């Protein structure tokens, strides 16, 4: 029986987060997941990734927590 695919966030969970804890609003795994998804749909810059993520926020929240938007 084939196994279920691994959620993309699970790929990033094991990464060490080098950011300063008191300045973090979003989990590293979720941030990287949004960035990868944005790139896969054609975003080429941080601004384009952000615009795509804001447009798709309701869809993204079906799969990610994103407590701070």
Q: What are the tens digits of pLDDT across the range 8-66?
A: 899 898 899 999 999 999 999 999 999 999 999 999 999 999 999 999 999 999 999 99
Question: Contact, 29 vs 9, CB < 8 A?
Answer: yes
State the DSSP code for 53: H
56 within some domain: yes
**More confident call, 2 vs 36:** 36
60 within some domain: yes
When divided into structural domains, the chain yields a total of 1
45 within some domain: yes
How confident is the model at residue 1, as a pLDDT? 61
Say how far apart CA 4 and CA 10 lie, in whole Å.
13
Q: Domain range for residue 47?
A: 38-68
51 within some domain: yes
33 within some domain: no
């Amino acid at each position: 029986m084939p196994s279920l695919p691994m959620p993309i966030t699970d790929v990033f969970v094991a990464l060490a987060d080098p950011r300063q804890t008191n300045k973090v609003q979003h989990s590293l795994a979720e941030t990287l997941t949004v960035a990868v998804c944005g790139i896969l749909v054609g975003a080429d810059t941080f601004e384009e990734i952000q615009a795509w993520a804001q447009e798709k926020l309701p869809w993204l929240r079906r799969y990610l927590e994103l407590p701070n938007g």
